[in-house]
Structure 1
Amino acid sequence: MAKILNLRSKTKEEAVKKAIEELKVSENDIEIKEIEAPSKGFLGIIGSKEGLYEITVIERETDVAKKFIEDMLRNSKVDAQVKVEQVDNLIKVNIIGDEAACLIGRRGDTLDSIQFLTGLALNKINKDSHTRVLVDIENYREKREESLVRYANKMAREVARTKRTKKLDYMNPYERRIIHSALQNDRYVITYSEGTDPYRRLVIEYKR
């Protein structure tokens, strides 16, 4: 929930300065709305009244993602750093630290859960947002992708040689997309998915 502060001040500029000092934020992180205009009164002295300003701290999606994961690490007693960057409508979160490896899980299932929950946290502050979040730990996803591409090519060669259909182990949508992409232009095989998540698997079939 956005933090809101009501301040009385002689001017808008003075209200901004007070908010920055009290909230420990930069001017770019706040929005200000005039609730009551200040009054100079008679001769600028008698009956003068300060204005009332509503200060709202802007909740940036990158900050929300970072704080959510830092709180999760703290509660899990995992010593790690969190780096966040946004590229277009994708927020990339990388968790760095030797202890963080315990949060990857079997074939990244725990990592996927962390990513899902982080996405829910972002959705709470902006339900209409089209921003996606990608959470990684020590570049696990890049290494996993390289491993999956090698595996996909190996299975494709086997299918091309034997002309027998190969059903791979159950995979999440992210992993299936990697293999689909790796083999989409293959001369000898086609790929498709069958089943229902979480028991949905990718099939590699010889081109007839």
Structure 2
Amino acid sequence: MSQEKTTLEIIAPTVDEAVARGLNQLGISREMVDVEVLDTGSRGLFGLGSRQARIRLKFKSTESHPVAQPPSSEAPVVPVSTPAAPAKEAEVSVAGDPQILKSASAVVGELLDKMSMKATVNASYVQNEEDEENPMVLVEVQGNDLSILIGRRSETLNALQYIASLIVCKEVGHWVPMTIDIQGYRQRRERQLRQMARRMAEQAVHTGRRQVLEPMPANERRVIHLELRDHPLVTTESTGEEPNRKVTIILKKQG
């Protein structure tokens, strides 16, 4: 490839990330190109209303760099994550776009930073029980003293998940099914809910009476519905108004 007039425009959430992506695509070091910032971008409030940064990379003249040496360990390091990391996460689970994983991880990490919460964030794809063709993004958050992020009846966690989902949706241009788990809380809670669903279904069959469960947020009610959707003797329905909406387990009418 001729370097004399070669340019490359890159769009990314930040200028530094755009530079890193460009260098990675070209396989060269930072000192071999001039960087022209076309748009510094804007983050907006919590990422909403944000505008991505846009840069142009142009090879420097051959006189200033007569021999293109491969990047060494002493080459300048751009202080951003490399685009290759999310691909490894995608390979160990359900197939999906690694760029979405990177966006989800970055958005949740930024929100936690704004909340002054120190934690590690890892995003991966998992099977979506409701839509097997579209895998769900699972963002796992680990750290110390993170219970404040869960809140009463998962209210804080659900709010964090809702805001993060909106931002990721805006960044990638379409809706992405996503769930956030804090220190394995959702997995533990889901196991408890599934066990309770089966136990209450047995009680409904044994007593012949409908069973009304405690008020739950929508994501927890969905777990109950999914667990019992193929039960041969009972069915489920949600009743009441938010935030006190409940799941009721009802005996099926026998023909």
Give 1 or 2 for the bigger CA radius of gyration: 1
- 1:79, 1:99 within 8 Å by CA — same for their partners in 2? no
Output the amino acid matched with 1:171. Answer: M
Structure 1: 4+ residue segments shifted above 4 A: none
Matched, 1:177 2:222: yes
Matches within 5 A, 1:8-19: 8-9=58-59
2:122 maps to which residue? 83
| Equivalent-residue separation in structure 2 for 1:98 and 1:23 (angstroms) | 30
2:169 maps to which residue? 123
2:187 maps to which residue? 142
2:144 maps to which residue? 98
Which protein, 1 or 2, shows the higher relative CO under an 8 Å CA cutoff with sep ≥ 6? 1
The number of aligned residues is: 170
How far the C-alpha of 1:89 sits from its partner, in A, is: 4.2
Structure with the higher fraction of residues in strand conformation: 1
1:52 maps to which residue? none
| Equivalent-residue separation in structure 2 for 1:185 and 1:90 (angstroms) | 22
Deviates further, 90-99 or 66-75: 66-75
Output the amino acid matched with 2:215. Answer: Y
CA RMSD of aligned residues (A): 2.9
| Equivalent-residue separation in structure 2 for 1:79 and 1:130 (angstroms) | 28
| Equivalent-residue separation in structure 2 for 1:91 and 1:175 (angstroms) | 17
How far the C-alpha of 1:60 sits from its partner, in A, is: 3.5
How far the C-alpha of 1:159 sits from its partner, in A, is: 1.5
How far the C-alpha of 1:96 sits from its partner, in A, is: 0.4
Residues 160-206 of structure 1 deviation map (CA, whole Å, 9 limit, x = unaligned): 22212222122222212211122223333221122344332211112
Structure with the higher fraction of residues in helix conformation: 1
Task: Give ranges in structure 1 of 5+ residues lacking alignment.
Answer: 30-58
Task: Give ranges in structure 2 of 5+ residues lacking alignment.
Answer: 1-50, 62-67, 84-97, 127-133
2:247 to 185, 202, 205: 202
- 1:78, 1:99 within 8 Å by CA — same for their partners in 2? no
1:65 maps to which residue? 104
- 2:107, 2:164 within 8 Å by CA — same for their partners in 1? yes
